[in-house]
Amino acid sequence: FGARRRIGTPRSAAPGKKNTRFQKHNEGHTIYTHSKLPPIIQEALLVNNDSKPFAILNAHRHGTCGFVLNAQVFLWNIKSDGGPKTADVLILDLPSNDSFVSFTGDSSGIFSCSPNGVIQFWPSFLKSSTFNFDLPLAVGATVSSIHCTESFCWIGSTDGKISHLRLKRDGNSTLQLLRQVNKGKSVLGRMFSWGWNNSATSPIHKIRVSKRNDETFYALALTNDGVDVWNSSETQDQLSQEVLIRPSLEEQMGAPVVLLDCRKYKKAIYVLFRTEAAQGNSLYLVQVANVFSRSEQTKVKKAFAFEIPSKHNEPMQQNSCHLAITPAGAATITTESVIIA
């Protein structure tokens, strides 16, 4: 994590008292506020100041960043000299104003999926999509999360299912539904949705695909209490581990916490969270060690805290906080107001 200052393993705080070892800081970080966004997006935000939701896609290793607002996604490069200009922004039209969006793993294309399962794909960020694909959903179910690699795509829905699709990019791109897996109704009480289709009964929070190893993929599904680790391949999907995180964090923080996003880096999972009482200006990033070992015990090993300028005086929501970690170990946290690189 480069210049990020290690705060250390947090000690347990007394009930009702916040752990002081999580200290707010911005040391070693570059913060991009609204003034750093391309002019065309600044203008769109002024016109749609009360229009919610919108979100910032993660900045990837190539510097590509996206901003979703009112059925459009704005794409630009945050490494542009002198700041991005309107001419440098590519605008794509989404199927609906509450679509879920994901870059491909190599950042060369972009997926979108509407709540009712209409999928679009743009290879190389072309303005016309290669194809549309209708995802079969159960009656009453809607999409709650999406994440893609170069060749595969995982989509979570509010009925507890994870749809596993394969992207074939030889000549004309095609999308094939491999299977749909369901963890079961027993988890509905402690899991919730991510994105613009918030519902207390939505089971899938956020899916992040983390590692490929000999055609085997590990998909992370963030739940209300922790992270589910899925072992996936072209032939099967298996729930290999359930990592409980929230109870330990609440004991250490002395307050209820809300899990926002997760990523895997090397042998650990990193979780972005906030406290329930936060007023929209504090985020915490923790490292959960040894999550892929055979031991059932997991520990919070490192903790980082960030003071976040907030556009709204309200707690950060799941649909506007995102975490990305590059292969080099650099983290990017995006919120509705800023990008912390």
Please state the domain extents for the chain. 1-32+245-341, 94-243
Amino acid 208: pLDDT: 63
Protein fold of 94-243: Methylamine Dehydrogenase; Chain H (2.130.10)
**What does the block give as tokens for 87?**
């001419």
Measure Cα distances from 193 to 175, 223, 247, 259, 319 in Å.
25, 8, 19, 11, 9
The Cβ of residue 97 has, within 10 Å, a number of other Cβ atoms equal to: 15
Q: What long-range pairs does 119-126 form, CB within 8 A, spacing at least 24?
A: 119/155, 119/175, 120/94, 120/95, 121/167, 121/173, 121/175, 122/92, 123/169, 123/173, 125/75, 125/90, 125/92
CA–CA separation, 225 vs 192, rounded Å? 10
Distance separating alpha carbons of residues 199 and 195, to the nearest angstrom: 10
Cβ neighbour number for residue 178 with a 10 Å cutoff: 17
What pLDDT shows up at residue 131?
A: 73
Q: What is the C-alpha separation between 25 and 190, in angstroms, rounded?
A: 32
At 279-303, the pLDDT tens digits run: 556 788 888 866 656 555 556 666 6
- Closest of 303, 319, 302, 320 to residue 311, by C-alpha: 320
pLDDT (tens, 9 = 90+) of the chain, 341 residues, equals 222 222 233 344 454 555 545 544 444 555 555 556 667 767 766 666 544 444 455 444 455 667 777 777 777 765 555 555 555 777 888 877 778 887 776 666 788 888 899 988 887 766 666 678 899 988 888 887 787 777 778 888 877 788 888 887 766 777 888 888 876 443 322 232 323 333 333 345 566 666 555 466 777 787 778 888 777 777 777 887 788 888 888 888 888 888 888 877 777 788 888 887 655 567 888 888 666 565 555 566 666 776 665 555 555 655 567 776 666 666 767 666 566 65
pLDDT at res. 191: 30
Helix (H) or strand (E) holding 273: strand 268-275
The residue type found at 277 is: A
Q: Where are the alpha helices (DSSP H) in the chain?
A: 39-47, 246-253
How many whole angstroms separate alpha carbon 223 and alpha carbon 261? Answer: 9
Q: What is the pLDDT of residues 214-224, one digit of tens each?
A: 466 777 787 77
The whole-number pLDDT of residue 178 equals: 87
Residues 6 or more apart whose CB falls under 8 angstroms from that of 113 comprise 99, 100, 101, 119, 120, 135, 143, 146, 155
Rounded to 10 degrees, what is the CA torsion of 99, 165, 147, 70?
A: -10
- Contact between 60 and 102 under an 8 Å Cβ cutoff? The reply is no
In the three-class reduction of DSSP (H, G, I as helix; E, B as strand; rest coil), residue 185 is classed as helix
pTM of the predicted model over 0.85 = no
State the sign of the Cα–Cα–Cα–Cα dihedral 33, 35, 41, 47: positive
Q: 310, 316, 330: which is closest to 272 by C-alpha?
A: 316
Give 103's contacts (C-beta < 8 A, 6+ positions apart).
57, 58, 60, 64, 66, 109, 110, 111, 148
Q: Which residues contact 123 (CB under 8 A, 6 or more apart)?
A: 108, 109, 130, 169, 173
